Amino acid sequence: MQMRLLRIAGFASAVTCSMLALTVPAPAGAKVLRVGTYDHIKGQYKTIQAAVDHARPGDWILVAPGDYKTTSSKAPAGDPDAPAGVLIKTPDLTIRGMSRRKVVVDGTKPGYGECSKRPAAQNYGPKREGQREGLNGILVWEANDVNIENLTACNFLGGSGDTGNEIWWDGDAGGGKIHGWGFLATYLSATSTFYRKESDAATYGLFSSDWDGGIFADDYASNFNDAGFYIGGCAQKCTQVIKDSQSQYNALGYSGTNSGGSMLIEHNKFDHNKDGFDTNSQNNDDWPSPQNGACPSGIRPPVKGAPTCWVLYKNEIYDNNDPNVPQAGSAAAGPVGTGASIEGRNDTVMDNTFTRDGAWGVVFQPYPDTGTAPADVIAAGENCAGGTTDFPFFDLTINCLYDDWGNHLIGNTFKDVGFFDNATNGDFAESTFESGHPINCYSGNKQIGGPEMSSPANLEETNAKCGPIAKQADTNLPFVGEALCDTNVFGPGYCSSSDKYPRPQRVVMHALPRKLKSMPNPCSGVPNNPWCPARHARRQAQD
Nearest CA among 311, 420, 431 for reference residue 367: 431
Number of domains in the chain: 1
- First vs last C-alpha separation in the chain: 29
Answer whether residue 141 is part of any domain: yes
Answer whether residue 542 is part of any domain: no
Contact between 369 and 274 (Cβ < 8 Å): no
Give the structural domain span for 394. Answer: 4-536
Answer whether residue 395 is part of any domain: yes
Beta-sheet pairing, 60-63 with 147-154 = unpaired
Global pTM value: 0.94
Contact between 37 and 64 (Cβ < 8 Å): yes
Answer whether residue 291 is part of any domain: yes
Answer whether residue 541 is part of any domain: no
Torsion of CA 340, 312, 329, 284, to 10 degrees: -130
The sign of the CA dihedral 68, 69, 73, 79 is positive
Answer whether residue 543 is part of any domain: no
- Give whole-number Cα distances, 4 to 1, 28, 280, 295, 524, in Å: 6, 15, 29, 22, 18
CATH of the domain at 28: 2.160.20
Answer whether residue 301 is part of any domain: yes
Answer whether residue 78 is part of any domain: yes
What burial class does residue 77 get, using C-beta atoms within 10 Å of its C-beta: 0-12 exposed, 13-18 middle, 19+ buried? exposed
* Residue-by-residue DSSP string for 205-218: EEEEES-B-EEEES
- pLDDT tens over the chain, length 543 residues: 444 444 433 444 444 433 344 445 566 689 999 999 999 999 999 999 999 999 999 999 999 999 999 999 999 998 999 999 999 999 999 999 999 999 999 999 999 999 999 999 999 999 988 999 999 999 999 999 999 999 999 999 999 999 999 999 999 866 678 999 999 999 999 999 999 999 999 999 999 999 999 999 999 999 999 999 999 999 889 999 999 999 999 999 999 999 999 999 999 999 999 999 999 999 888 888 999 999 999 999 999 999 999 999 999 999 999 999 999 988 999 999 999 999 999 999 999 999 999 999 999 999 999 878 888 788 878 888 899 999 987 777 888 999 999 999 999 999 999 999 999 999 999 999 999 999 999 999 999 987 789 999 999 999 999 999 999 999 999 999 999 999 998 888 889 999 999 999 999 999 999 989 999 999 999 999 999 997 555 556 566
